[in-house]
Amino acid sequence: MLKLLNESLKPLSIFIYSESLRKINDDLYIFVAKIKDLKKIGIVKQNQILYFSSPYFSEDKKIEGTNFLVNLYPLNFENYQKLKEIIPISPKVCDKKISFGTGDRLGLITSAQLSALKEYDLFPILAQQSPRELIKTKRDFKDVLLKSAMGVLETGYTGKYGADADHIKDEKYLMEAIDAGYTMYTLDISDFIEKIKDLSEKALKEKYEKVSSFSKKIIDKYAGKRVKISDEEYFELSYNELCKSAIVYEKALSFVEMVYEILKSKLSEFDIEVSIDEGERDTTPEDHFFVAQFLHDKGIDFKSLAPKFPGEFQKGIDYIGDIKEFERALKKHYALTKALEGYRLSLHSGSDKFSIYKIFYKITEGNFHIKTSGTSWLEAVKVIAKFFPDLFVELYQIALENLEESKKAYKVNITKEEFPKEIKEDYMEFLHKDNVRQLFHISYGVLLDEKRKEIYDLLNQKEKEHYQYVSENIKKHLKNLFEEE
């Protein structure tokens, strides 16, 4: 069939992704094709009544020498809804111990990410975007899901994958993700937590008096509890620290309760991740315990928890901090997941954190979720630096001029003064520097605002190279994570 299709469509300058061709039954095939820079779903049929919107050909085109007809359609949400009744392309909840989230800010390279991910025993989370990213890229949850589904079809992938509505902080974006059909909801409670860093003992005591009896029962019941790290090592939950944890998190957890009730009313199954990794406060064992036990006692079935580990998890670069300190904290957090059961640890801002991957894998016994996102965007910048140097220089100047604005959304320790006004070295080597990676990592919004068409046009021209760069980058992450040295 592939040969016949190519013979029919190649003269029309329609490119077929060979791995995408799927035989649904004797009368129906589906594939992905590209016309100029637009990807479409191809439907090959005989004796099948199928109605999809916006056909490319006004009448189905006959494939010479067969009884089959072919037409091409956009993967809009209407067509996606019809297509998922024919083949299982919609996202699912996670059913493996390890999951790995990639994210595709541009909506161009899910297939390249998947080509790396499918080589390992993990659950891929392909559609992964936050409201912050949606605003900066001028996309929505449906578009992110559709581009991910197109990547699944393009590679011929038949396994399961997930869709993560990342850093949900309000009901508006929650409902949009539900309507789009997302399966994972990462709840960011950072806007609702109490800040206690500068409070006096008297102020802390006054705040604790206002804590609910529900929270106080948890503290009274579990203060002094010993948690086993190993046969030789334990730690104890402090009463005073549990009191602080209740003050910090109690109000924030009401947001998780609200979201859980909405999700239960709308969806038959879903995964919740609770993110407590934002802000200045490293997550103490007591914080972790209080949050998890509170939610369990409320009957909330969350699947993963993202603590704030010691050290810095800045965007686009390796871990900054004392690895031994990170290891000690991780052992305690993992011990708590075993004591409380039913959920995994999650590592946020996990891209490029190569120095701690093997430690994370070993201590968690291969039971975790890792989030990455901007690392694939940086591969797009690399393609531009390699093949379109003039545009790269323009992007650099735009990023530098808008650095302070871009920094409002991301925590990075870079300043405009440390960058040269003109790049006087090889652009690929320049882009390899940590501060330059961070500059481009956080600047995607303004760069797309000012150079969207040029960026997309040039990346489409170099799709093969773009795919190769992205795939190799994800493979580098996975090799560091899974493979022995």
Fold of 98-374: TIM Barrel (3.20.20)
Taking only the tens place, the pLDDT of each residue in 184-225 is: 999 999 999 999 999 999 999 999 999 999 999 999 999 999
- E strand or H helix at 185: strand 184-188
Q: Compute the average pLDDT of residues 167-180.
A: 98
Taking only the tens place, the pLDDT of each residue in 263-286 is: 999 999 999 999 999 878 999 999
Taking only the tens place, the pLDDT of each residue in 33-87 is: 999 999 999 999 998 888 999 999 999 999 988 999 999 999 999 999 999 999 9
Binding-site residues for a divalent metal cation, please? 167, 315, 348
What is the pairing mode between strands 368-371 and 98-101? parallel
The structure tokens 């007591």 sit at 286
The pLDDT score that the predictor gives to residue 483 is 86
Catalytic, 166? Answer: yes
Binding-site residues, please? 167, 315, 348
**Domain parsing of the chain, residue ranges:** 1-85, 98-374, 384-482
CB–CB of 181/90 below 8 Å? yes
CB–CB of 56/71 below 8 Å? yes
Q: How confident is the model at residue 411 (pLDDT cuts 50, 70, 90)?
A: confident
What is the pairing mode between strands 38-45 and 28-35? antiparallel
What is the pairing mode between strands 123-129 and 98-101? parallel
**pLDDT greater than 80 at residue 412:** yes
The residue annotated as part of the active site, out of 133, 166, 250, 379, is: 166
Rg of the Cα atoms in the chain = 24
Closest alpha carbon to 438 in 360, 357, 377: 377
Q: How confident is the model at residue 485 (pLDDT cuts 50, 70, 90)?
A: low
CB–CB of 20/31 below 8 Å? yes
End-to-end CA distance of the chain: 44
Mean pLDDT over all residues of the chain? 96
Contacts of 234 (CB under 8 A, 6+ apart): 226, 227, 228
Q: C-alpha angle with apex 279: 331 to 298, nearest 5 degrees?
A: 70
Catalytic, 273? Answer: yes
Q: Where are the alpha helices (DSSP H) in 201-322?
A: 201-209, 213-222, 239-266, 285-297
Q: Where are the alpha helices (DSSP H) in 341-443?
A: 354-363, 374-387, 389-401, 403-407, 427-431, 434-442
The pLDDT score that the predictor gives to residue 484 is 75
The pLDDT score that the predictor gives to residue 279 is 76
The residue annotated as part of the active site, out of 140, 154, 273, 352, is: 273
CB-CB neighbours of 171 under 10 Å? 12
